[in-house]
């Protein structure tokens, strides 16, 4: 199934300050997720910013918070984003059925969100290089479980080019620059 940008919405799940130093390959995660957010904005794909228990886990990490400034923000106490009525309502009201997921922790909040999205008849698309956990094994197993349950697994570069769909446009030039930055 080919994804189209008009059918997609992104969620950055719990990429928060107090967890960040403990996340496996956290710098790689931050760079890829920043690239994803910038790319989704170029493509006019809306993005939601979600935080779990901000009082205890802090704000979204600075590099991502700056990119998410103009995006709708949500607070939750449940691991799954779908358990927070305001988030689920925002997803349903968007009219977009494909939910692009980034964030942490892969084996808790991202996994439970993906599973609940499937129950709610959304298609979760997990951006593998934009999700992480404290332990690499937890991430690996969570990504495999999401795949087995019906989520689509992709990478930042792959989803951006899939949503772009064609070359020779100004958007193509902008996305190409983002991808080239990753190779440096």
Q: What are the structural domains of the chain?
A: 7-182 (3.40.50.850)
Q: Which pLDDT score is estimated for 183?
A: 67
Q: Which of 14, 116, 129, 138 is catalytic?
A: 14
- Residue 112 pLDDT exceeds 90: yes
- Residue 182 pLDDT exceeds 80: no
Q: What percent of the chain has pLDDT over 70?
A: 99
Is 114 in contact with 144 (CB distance < 8 Å)? no
Question: Taking residues 69-90, what's their average pLDDT?
Answer: 98
- 76 given a catalytic annotation: yes
Q: Which of 8, 76, 82, 116 is catalytic?
A: 76
To which residue do tokens 């910038």 refer? 38
Q: Which of 71, 109, 130, 156 is catalytic?
A: 109
- The pTM of the full predicted model, rounded to 2 decimals, is 0.97
- Residue 51 pLDDT exceeds 90: yes
Q: Which pLDDT score is estimated for 28?
A: 95
For residue 125, give the nearest of 161, 142, 150, 93 by alpha carbon.
150
Tell me the torsion sign for CA atoms 74, 77, 81, 85: negative
- 92 given a catalytic annotation: no
- 70 given a catalytic annotation: no
- Residue 184 pLDDT exceeds 70: no
- Residue 181 pLDDT exceeds 90: no
Question: Taking residues 22-39, what's their average pLDDT?
Answer: 97
Q: Which pLDDT score is estimated for 48?
A: 98
- Residue 157 pLDDT exceeds 90: yes
């Amino acid at each position: 199934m080919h994804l189209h940008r008009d059918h997609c919405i992104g969620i950055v799940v719990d990429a928060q300050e107090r967890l960040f130093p403990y996340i496996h390959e956290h710098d790689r995660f931050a760079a890829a997720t920043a690239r994803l957010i910038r790319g989704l904005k170029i493509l006019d794909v809306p993005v939601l910013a979600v935080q779990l228990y901000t009082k205890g886990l802090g704000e979204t990490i600075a590099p991502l918070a700056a990119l998410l400034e103009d995006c709708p923000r949500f607070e939750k106490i449940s691991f799954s984003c779908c358990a927070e009525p305001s988030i689920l309502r925002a997803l349903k009201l968007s009219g977009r059925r494909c939910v692009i997921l980034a964030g942490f922790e892969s084996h808790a909040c991202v996994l439970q969100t993906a599973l609940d999205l499937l129950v709610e008849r959304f298609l979760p698309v997990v951006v593998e290089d934009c999700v992480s956990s404290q332990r690499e094994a937890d991430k690996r197993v969570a990504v495999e479980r999401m795949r087995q349950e019906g989520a689509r697994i992709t990478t930042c570069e792959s989803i951006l080019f899939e949503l772009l769909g064609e070359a020779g446009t100004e958007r193509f030039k902008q996305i190409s620059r983002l991808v080239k930055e990753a190779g440096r």
